[in-house]
């Protein structure tokens, strides 16, 4: 599908970020994915579950999940080819066990169903209502009934920008409302993320389930 200007600009922004800045200096960098793993465990996924990490970037989550359960099937989707290239290289021998998907989530037409949707710090960049609706439609298309979604955004006390882009801040109820019908909130928490430069950013994590 052809990209509009908005999507091209978005892609170029993220390509530049990942091509010009060391991963360990990105504000969202974390050495482990502890809070995500806590909610993944809570979802009690079966063997052979399919997990998609949306806007996964260079996150360590894919490797963490493969070590948690070797039967799980992991897809990492990102708009930036450079981020996927880096993530793939850092996974070494495990990289072939991951499906790498270069796509804009607002345009993505998945060809598989997932048991778990994970998104840390991607959804909050969607400041246009049409993009948020496209995201929610995709989520509902890919997530099986009964499947879980873990979505983390900046909280109402978090920063108003990330990577020099405006973001939308959420608490659990506004996030659930933004994602729309068909999901129910199972758990939520706020956490303080320490950036590599020592700043603290408050995140809202939500565990939702498709009903
Ligand atoms: C703040 S980073 C978070 C990366 C990762 N989830 C983590 O926790 O380390 C946001 C990520 O979302 C990706 N992204 C931004 N907009 C996107 C879109 N519309 N579709 C897919 N990925 C997108 C960016 O390339 C970037 O990797």
125 lines ligand 1 (CB under 6 A): yes
Residue with tokens 């603290």: 200
For the chain, the domain total comes to 1
Full residue range of the structural domain in which residue 45 is found: 5-210
CATH number (domain holding residue 83): 3.40.50.150
Note the pLDDT tens digit of each residue in 149-200: 999 999 999 999 999 999 999 999 999 999 988 999 999 999 999 999 999 9
Give the β-pairing of 73-78 and 161-162: unpaired
Count of all residues that appear for the chain in the document: 211
CA-closest residue to ligand 1 atom 10: 122
Task: Report which ligand 1 atom has the smallest distance to the Cα of 106.
Answer: 19
Note the pLDDT tens digit of each residue in 81-109: 999 999 999 999 999 999 999 999 999 99
Q: In the prediction, which pLDDT does 187 show?
A: 98
78 lines ligand 1 (CB under 6 A): yes
Q: 118: which DSSP letter?
A: E
Task: Report which ligand 1 atom has the smallest distance to the Cα of 36.
Answer: 8
What is the arithmetic mean of pLDDT over 50-78?
98
CA distance 1 to 137: 17
**Triad 123, 112, 37: Cα angle to 5°:** 50
């Amino acid at each position: 599908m052809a990209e509009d200007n908005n999507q091209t600009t978005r892609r170029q922004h993220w390509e530049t970020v990942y091509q010009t800045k060391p991963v360990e200096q990105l504000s969202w960098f974390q050495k482990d994915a502890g809070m995500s793993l806590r909610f993944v465990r809570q979802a009690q996924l079966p063997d052979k579950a399919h997990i998609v990490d949306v806007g996964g970037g260079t996150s360590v989550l894919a490797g963490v999940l493969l070590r948690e359960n070797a039967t799980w099937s992991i897809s990492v989707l990102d708009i930036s080819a450079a981020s996927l290239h880096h993530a793939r290289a850092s996974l070494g021998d495990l990289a072939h066990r991951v499906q790498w998907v270069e796509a804009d989530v607002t345009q993505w037409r998945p060809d598989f169903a997932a048991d778990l949707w994970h998104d840390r710090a991607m959804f909050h960049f969607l400041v246009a209502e049409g993009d948020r609706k496209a995201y929610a439609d995709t989520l509902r298309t890919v997530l099986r009934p009964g499947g879980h979604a873990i979505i983390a955004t900046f909280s109402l006390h978090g920063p108003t920008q990330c990577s020099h882009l405006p973001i939308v801040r959420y608490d659990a109820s506004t996030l659930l409302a933004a994602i729309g019908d068909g999901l129910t909130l199972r758990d939520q928490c706020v956490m303080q993320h320490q950036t590599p430069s020592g700043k603290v950013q408050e995140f809202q994590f939500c565990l939702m389930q498709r009903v």
